Amino acid sequence: MKTQVAIIGGGPSGLLLSQLLHTRGISSVVLERKTKDYVLGRIRAGVLERGLVSLMEEAGCADRMHAEGFIHDGTLLSYGDELFRVDFAEHTGATVMVYGQTEVTRDLYAAREASGGQIEFEVENVVIHDTKTDTPFVTYDVAGDARRIDCDFIAGCDGFHGVSRKTLPEDVRQEYEKVYPFGWLGVLSETPPVNDELIYANSPRGFALCSMRNANLSRYYIQCPTSDRPEDWSDDAFWAELKRRIPADQAAKLVTGPSIEKSIAPLRSFVTEPMQWGRLFLCGDAAHIVPPTGAKGLNTAASDVHYLYNALLEYYETGSEAGVNGYSAKALKRVWKAERFSWWFSSLMHRYPDQTEFDYKIQVAELEFLRSNRAAQQAMAENYVGLPY
């Protein structure tokens, strides 16, 4: 089999890249390790930066997002019973879209299928070959059948545990990591959200987040020890702890109900450099991970897709290799800015095991500064809605 771009990974970043390339007549094949149902069953965040919204529009996949998504032009932050708002629209003229990552993926699958895009599921034993040549190729198995794709370029969109990053030689690959000493216990419930906007809460008992998927589907999180297991937390215990961590007036109107999904996610910051090796390019979690505070994971993957898509477009339309050769350097500049924001926001809102009362007072002072200082709010808003590509 031959194509122009082989894409490893059938999650949102791989599908988005494939669909964008299709709109410009560039062929691709997507290889996915799991089934389509498995990919669509993964529960992920749902805050889309302005840049990702624009990419979905450019890909021709934005109709349902605009019909069913919720535009948020600000967010709420609390410490104790104090609550204040950062107005994105006022400070940046931009907004974010609340629309589940699962729905983004569903829309992209529908678009690829409608256009006859080739997606191979349940692929095994993927091996990437000859990326430092002009003729790279990928070998893999499907149901015991050995297959090969010859291509011009390979996009590694296969996540942290995929083969793409590991294809870069160990003596070339530099990895940077920070592991946080806590996780997020998340609950999905068929209840109306406690507020029309997200609430990020700093509490002496730990962080909490009140978010939403739609008018009757809410997603709530509380900081917990990494040793906890979801089954350690009954629904009643979760709701009681959440109410302790958010302002009393918000807790009083919180609608609780049975959880339909409960999970614990560890938090880490991770970056690998470089993000390319010859004609292999890394996108999204294959190259970097952020803590979920500030919802930069999918959005940073989308910025990678933007840079790679435009680099490939330049190559196929003009013959220039400047964009593909400069992909890693350009993508990493924005990646590190997203990492900084996610680290800063996590450090501001969470309680750390070794945190002293002095440290907590500093957090409160910074929150009060953010509450009262327009320049600080503008800086946060610019990062939250997404730095320009």
CATH number for the domain harbouring residue 376: 3.30.9.10
Token pair in block for residue 272: 């690998």
Residue 341 lies in a domain: yes
**Alpha-carbon distance 235 to 258, whole Å?**
7
Residue 244 lies in a domain: yes
Residue 248 lies in a domain: yes
Say yes or no: 162 and 302 in one domain. yes
Say yes or no: 100 and 137 in one domain. yes
- pLDDT for res 215: 83
- pLDDT for res 42: 77
CATH number at residue 320: 3.50.50.60
Say yes or no: 184 and 171 in one domain. no
Query: Does residue 304 contact residue 332 with C-beta atoms inside 8 Å?
Result: no
Say yes or no: 58 and 35 in one domain. yes
What is the chain's pLDDT, residue by residue, as a tens digit (389 residues)? 999 999 999 999 999 999 999 999 999 999 999 999 999 887 677 899 999 999 999 999 999 999 999 999 999 999 999 999 999 999 999 999 999 899 999 999 999 999 999 999 999 999 999 999 999 999 999 999 999 999 999 999 999 999 999 999 999 999 999 999 999 999 999 999 999 999 999 999 999 999 988 888 899 999 999 999 999 999 999 999 999 999 999 999 999 999 999 999 999 999 999 999 999 999 999 999 999 998 999 999 999 999 999 999 999 999 999 999 999 999 999 999 999 999 999 999 999 999 999 999 999 999 999 999 999 999 999 999 999 99
Say yes or no: 54 and 196 in one domain. no
Residue 163 lies in a domain: yes
Say yes or no: 144 and 263 in one domain. no
Domain residues for the domain of 217 are 179-267+353-385
Residue 89 lies in a domain: no
Say yes or no: 245 and 357 in one domain. yes
Say yes or no: 359 and 291 in one domain. no
Catalytic residue numbers?
72, 200, 292, 296, 384
Residue 85 lies in a domain: no
- pLDDT for res 46: 85
- pLDDT for res 41: 83
Say yes or no: 251 and 111 in one domain. no
- In degrees rounded to 5, what are phi and psi of residue 212? -150, 160
What letter represents residue 225's amino acid?
A: P
3-state secondary structure the chain: CECCEEEECCCHHHHHHHHHHHHCCCCEEEECCCCHHHHHCCCCCCEECHHHHHHHHHCCCCHHHHHHCEEECEEEEEECCEEEEEEHHHHHCCCEEECCHHHHHHHHHHHHHHCCCEEECCEEEEEEECCCCCCCEEEEEECCEEEEEECCEEEECCCCCCHHHHHCCCCCCEEEEEEEEEEEEEEEECCCCCCCCCEEEECCCCCEEEEEEECCEEEEEEEECCCCCHHHCCHHHHHHHHHHHCCHHHHHCCCCCCEEEEEEEEEEEEEEECCEECCEEECHHHCEECCCCCCCHHHHHHHHHHHHHHHHHHHHHHCCCHHHHCHHHHHHHHHHHHHHHHHHHHHHHCCCCCCCHHHHHHHHHHHHHHHHCHHHHHHHHHHHHCCCC
Say yes or no: 185 and 307 in one domain. no
Residue 316 lies in a domain: yes
- pLDDT for res 44: 73
Helices 374-385, 357-372: crossing angle, 10 deg rounding: 90
Q: How many domains does one find in the chain?
A: 2
Say yes or no: 46 and 126 in one domain. yes
- pLDDT for res 43: 67
Residue 109 lies in a domain: yes
Say yes or no: 232 and 187 in one domain. yes
